[in-house]
Every structure is written in structure tokens, then in C-alpha cells.
Amino acid sequence: MLALGMMSGTSLDGVDAALIDTDGAAIAGFGRSGYRAYGGNEAAVLHGALGRWPGEPGVAEAAALSVAAHAALAGDFPEAEVIGYHGQTLAHDPQGRGTHQAGSGAALARETGRRVVWDFRAEDVRRGGEGAPLAPFFHHACARWAVARGALPEAPVAFLNLGGVGNLTWTDPRIAAPEAPEACLAFDTGPANAPLNDLLRARRGVARDEGGAVALAGTPDEAVVRAALSQPFFARRPPKSLDRDAFAGLAGQLDGMSDADAAATLVAVAAASVAEGFRWLPAHPATLLVCGGGRHNAAMMGAVAARLPCEVAPVEAAGLDGDMLEAQAFGWLAVRVLRGMPTSGRSTTGVGAPCCGGRISAPRG
């Protein structure tokens, strides 16, 4: 089945869309992709709704914006048989109020005239899981795809997604099913692009540290890095997940620093968080494949590589598209949901048993 995966992450830069040909298990092929950036006013609406729950001020506007932006981009992919729609994460509190992805898949189905699979995380949380990360089973499929093409050895490999939050997947492609014991271990590592993007937005009015130029000119404050890693999150065994703003308190520790030193410090915190996560892996992988926007940040990639005991490379080294991997994941997951296959498990979200999350909406209800 040809599925269109759509993803708007916590970096709040825009919507990614990518076609994938799959039966929900193996990857038969990757199709074309697209991107729709958020305008300044749109980004402001989404930022204004961060941390809020259904019914609170600004949420309805953010949800409507999400549906409209996704529908506009989906129109460029008429060949897709189903759409996997992640929605916009505004709040994530799996041990408390749950998880909140704004945007109605039913509304998107009506707008696009196609089936939409959405609300991927809520069922996992309802069953006691963290609801995140959800890409690990797809990372396992990608590893098997790359092994079959000779792009990776038949051995454990790790994927690091550097989005607003960092998340790490360790996977063994020699095991056929991702939900099988010892096939996957995954968890959020800590803050990644979100604090850095927020810093540049507040201080310079730009969306990101393009290429890492600001951070590369600075020197990190290692005392701030050590203080960040002393937080209880890092002592918790995985699986575990984070809200985008879980480390918002970092901003106050950057007062008085130059833009460059503050950016370098946030990059160092992100990299140290990944290195801290490595202690939970069953074994060190030979290669860490990096996806997400953070891999375009030379400061971030250099800092991660300097702290890890393995090769660090962008996922393109394995023939994958690091800009579209998350979008492709939700296309692949959409087909799994249609087939009633697990989308998460004990070693990825902590849910008690393999769980098939997601709701299915047809254009006419």
C-alpha cells in the first residue's frame, strides 16, 4: 500500500510529508516527499499553544491550523491510499494528564477525501506506556531494509533522532519482528533542538542556529551541563519520554552568557544527554545513524561524535532520508494500524504488552 506519512515536530518549523510503499512490516520502497514551512504568524500560534490541553486558550486555533497546513500539503500527493497524521504535540505528560496532539484526523479525512490514521499515542498511554518514542519499530524496519541492500552489516545499529527532543533507538535487524524481545530498546535522551531554537528565536528572532554557526563560535559552560545531567530523568531506566519543555529551566542558567556561549552550552547538554543514554544500551553499536534537523547542525554533530564510543554518521550513509524519516515512520505506522499490528511495546514505550495505537477516520465518517 502507498501511504503518506505527515509529521510536524516540536521544533515547530513546518510539515514534512513522505510516501512509503509498505505492508506495515517490510519496506518495499520510498517515494517522493514534500515540505511546507510555517509562516511567522503560524509559528506564533503554535508556540502560543505549547503546554496546553484541549479546551484551553489557543488550542482550537492551533488544531485548525495543523489540519489546514497538512491538508494543503497532502493535496500534492493524490496517489496516497492512506494518510498517517501525527498532529501537533502541544503537551506530553504520560504519568499525569496524558499526551496531547492537536488536530483532528477526522477533519483531515474530510478535507483530503482519504482515510486518515491518527492519534497514535493515546492508546499506548492509556495502557500505561509513555506514548513515545513511536518511531523505533520503523527504525527496525529501516535497519532490515538497509541490511538487505548491503548498506549496513547484519548487526545491532542505533538511530538517534535529533528533533525538539532527542530520542535513541537500539535495534537488532537479525530479529524479524520489532515487538519481539530484544529486538528494540528506545527512549528519549533529553533536550535537543527545542531549547536551542527557542534561544535563537528569543535573542535573534530566527528559527534556528543554521548549520550550528552560532554554537561553533562559543564555548560551553560545563557546570551548566553537569547540572542539567543531575536531573532525575537521567537516572530513570528506559523506556522514558519527555515533554518538549521539560528542560525549560535551562534558559535561566544562560543569563549573562553571549549568544554563542549559550548556544554552545545547549548543544553540549544535548550531546551529553545522548552519551548518558548509551549506558542503558544492551551493547554499543558499531554505528550511530543520526536523523532529524539536528544532523544539519555541525556543532551538534561534532559534540555528539566527541562524546560517543562509536562512529556517528547521518542516516544518509545507510541510504535513508534523514529529513523525512519521521514522516515516513507515520506512513508505515498507518499501514500497521490498518492491519492491527503492534506500533509500540514494552521496550520502546514501557507499555505492558505490544500495543496497536491509532484511530482510523474515513472521509465520510
Distances (CA, A) of 38 to 25, 45, 113, 203: 32, 10, 23, 20
Q: What pTM does this model have?
A: 0.94
End-to-end CA separation in angstroms for the chain? 21
- Grid cell listed for 143: 535497519
**Is there a shared CATH topology between the 2-133+323-361 domain and the 151-318 domain?**
yes
At 81-94, the pLDDT tens digits run 999 999 999 999 99
- Three-state secondary structure call for residue 164: coil
CB 130 within 8 Å of CB 165 = no
**Closest Cα partner for 332 from 1, 36, 15, 78?**
1
CATH architecture of 151-318: 2-Layer Sandwich (3.30)
For residue 198, give every residue at least 6 positions away whose Cβ sits within 8 Å of its Cβ, in sequence order, or none. 251
Q: What is the pLDDT along the chain (365 residues), one digit of tens a residue?
A: 999 999 998 888 999 999 999 999 999 999 999 999 999 899 999 999 999 999 999 999 999 999 999 999 999 999 999 999 999 999 999 989 999 999 999 999 999 999 999 999 999 999 999 999 999 999 999 999 999 999 999 999 999 999 989 999 999 999 999 999 899 999 999 999 999 999 999 999 998 999 999 999 999 999 999 999 999 999 999 999 998 888 888 999 999 999 999 999 999 999 999 999 999 999 999 899 999 999 999 999 999 999 999 999 999 999 999 999 999 999 999 999 999 999 999 999 999 999 999 999 999 86
CATH topology of domain 2-133+323-361: Nucleotidyltransferase; domain 5 (3.30.420)
Is 277 in contact with 187 (CB distance < 8 Å)? yes
Q: Which residue has the cell 559552560?
A: 221
Domain layout of the chain by residue ranges: 2-133+323-361, 151-318
> What are the C-alpha distances in Å from 139 to residues 3, 53, 209, 289?
17, 30, 27, 10
Positive or negative: CA dihedral 110, 337, 144, 315 = positive
Q: Cis before residue 220, ω within 30 degrees of 0?
A: no
Q: Could you tell me if 320 and 335 are in contact, meaning their C-beta atoms sit under 8 angstroms apart?
A: no
pLDDT in tens, 328-344: 999 999 999 999 999 99
